[in-house]
A = this chain, B = another copy of it.
Amino acid sequence: MPPESAPRPEPSPTPAPGGRPRPPTIYDVARAAGVAPSTVSRTFSRPGRVSAGTAERIRAVAAELGYRTNPLARALPTGRTSVIALVVSDITNPFYAEIIRGAQSAVNEAGYVVLLVDAQESDRLEREALERALPVVEGVVLAGSRMSDSAIRMTAKQRPMVVLNRDVADLPSVLTDNVHGMRLAAGHLAGLGHRSVTYVAGPEASWADGTRWRALRDTAGGLGLRVHRIGPYPPTVAGGTAAARDLGRYGDPAVIAYNDQLAIGLMRGAQAAGLRVPQDLSVVGFDNVFGAELVTPGLTTVAAPLRAQGRTAVRNLLAMLAGARPYGGPPAVLPSRLVLRGSTARPGRPRPGTG
């Protein structure tokens, strides 16, 4: 009886700690199929490098044994964990819900899973959580971040990354067409007969906020619109009610807010102060989140293709992982559209129709 070369000892029948059964490994399959372990490995990781017949047999045996390749073990030599990180600044913000949905579904289609990092609006918490997540993920989508550009660029050195709604030098990003969106909003107001509008600013750290404000300022002249600006305010309903108290400063009968939550808070604050929306005050938001159509009147808002954003970001990231050039080309920009609801009207008169 010739000695087998380096025979693996039969795995002791001792189940894994915790009493859970130990799943079959590549070795179990190899033994059962009468081939070398590496052949089994190849069958699953490098199909085509193994003859059709053998592969078929191995698959059959594997299926019967219930073999599943262990991603942890695969990850160690290759670094391919099949998980990508998705960072949001505040999971509680409905704005992210659709983005996550889009990202998640694209990720799943590719056989990956999503590691969620909720920054909880904190630079520190975000950094800590991301640091912990980083070694486990192949790449990261930054859907919202409280970190500085330089901190972002640092972590981008460690893993491929794509940034959503923010333009970080040298990093691939996907943006929405804020400029066009703002033009639609301002054009709508001007068309209604408004001659002046105040912009209600969101967080200073927000890249989108800067872009939106500049777009308004640049487009206003051509529309015969005077513009003012108040803020910054936290991008929440509470922030909006706070902003409502400062609205008197310019007394404009129309406002465009950084986002929908701010706009909603603004409406409520203004209404509480006795103003009628839209008769006395027209308000426009951004993002079209859940809730924008729930308020009374419904909120006119610039809608971004949230789900597509998430999807696009993930696809771009996966392409990078698949070997596309790390940092390529100009940002992908997705279209915006204006959703008309009841919160806007000609100054001084109610607008018929939508309500």
Contacts and interface: CB of A to CB of B under 8 A. Distances in A.
Interface stretch (A104-112, A169-177, A196-204, A329-337): A104-112
Contact of A113 (B70, B115, B326): B115
Report the copy number of this chain in the oligomer: 2
Contacts of A264: 294
B120 A136 contact: no
Contacts of A105: 118, 120
Interface stretch (A34-42, A50-58, A127-135): A127-135
Contacts of A290: 92, 94, 290-291
* Interface residues of chain A: helix, strand, loop or mixed (majority): mixed
Given A115-B115, A116-B116, A157-B20, A136 B83 contact: yes
A289 to B, nearest CB: 9
A91 B97 contact: yes
Contacts of A205: none
Contacts of A125: 108
Interface residues of A, number: 56
Interface stretch (A74-82, A146-154, A183-191): A74-82
Interface string A64-86: 00001011110110010111001
A82 B16 CA distance: 18
Given A16-B79, A115-B115, A104 B91 contact: yes
14 contacts: A21-B157, A71-B132, A71-B136, A72-B76, A86-B116, A100-B116, A100-B118, A108-B128, A108-B132, A112-B132, A113-B132, A114-B115, A115-B116, A237-B294
Interface of A: 16-21, 68, 70-73, 75-76, 79, 81-83, 86, 91-92, 94, 97-98, 100-101, 104-105, 108, 111-118, 120, 125, 128-129, 132-133, 135-136, 157-160, 237, 264, 290-291, 294-296, 326
